[in-house]
Amino acid sequence: MTSTDPDLLARLQDSVGGLGTLTERLGIEFLTAGPEHVSARMPVEGNTQVVGLLHGGASAALAETVGSVAATLHAGQGRGAVGVDLSATHHRAVRSGFVTAVATPLHLGGRLATYDVTVTDEDGRRVCTARLTCMLVDRP
């Protein structure tokens, strides 16, 4: 189930977007969260290549972030998710504004979870398509 509960989103932002994390440095902000749908947005500004285009690595990091959060929510209490495979195809350049990533499940198992992640620009055009597989593990 997807949540737009502000308290859940704030806790999620605090837990994965804390001081010094890549999530914080990229400026990722969670919009919705649930094991079958996580969305977040990221500013293009500050996440560009030298020529001023959105860096493909930033898109990949955004995709892995939303997929990993979704997998962690699927894993349940006392468990977490570790990314084991990420592939990303970059479709178009973006120079400004925000991009939004949405993770939806392809497979939700007990040991592995795989997500399709689409990254779009502010006009809804697909910027990147990614697939993330996470191993579900017990937390220490």
**Cα-flanking dihedrals φ and ψ of residue 105, to 5°?**
-75, 145
Residue 2's pLDDT band (cuts 50, 70, 90): low
Greater confidence (6 vs 68) lies with 68
Hey, which residues does 31 pair with through a beta bridge? none
Q: Which domains does the chain have, with CATH numbers?
A: 6-138 (3.10.129.10)
Q: Where are the beta strands (DSSP E) in the chain?
A: 29-32, 38-43, 79-90, 98-108, 112-120, 126-138
Residues 13-25 as b or e (16 or more Cβ within 10 Å = b): beebbeeeeebee
Nearest to 62 by CA among 5, 108, 119: 119
* Known catalytic residue at 24: no
Catalytic residue of the set 24, 36, 64, 122: 64
Q: What residues contact 29, with CB distance under 8 A and at least 6 apart?
A: 13, 17, 40, 41, 42
pTM of the model: 0.90
- pLDDT at residue 19 is higher than 70: no
For the stretch 45-89, pLDDT in tens is: 999 999 999 999 999 999 999 999 999 999 999 999 999 999 999
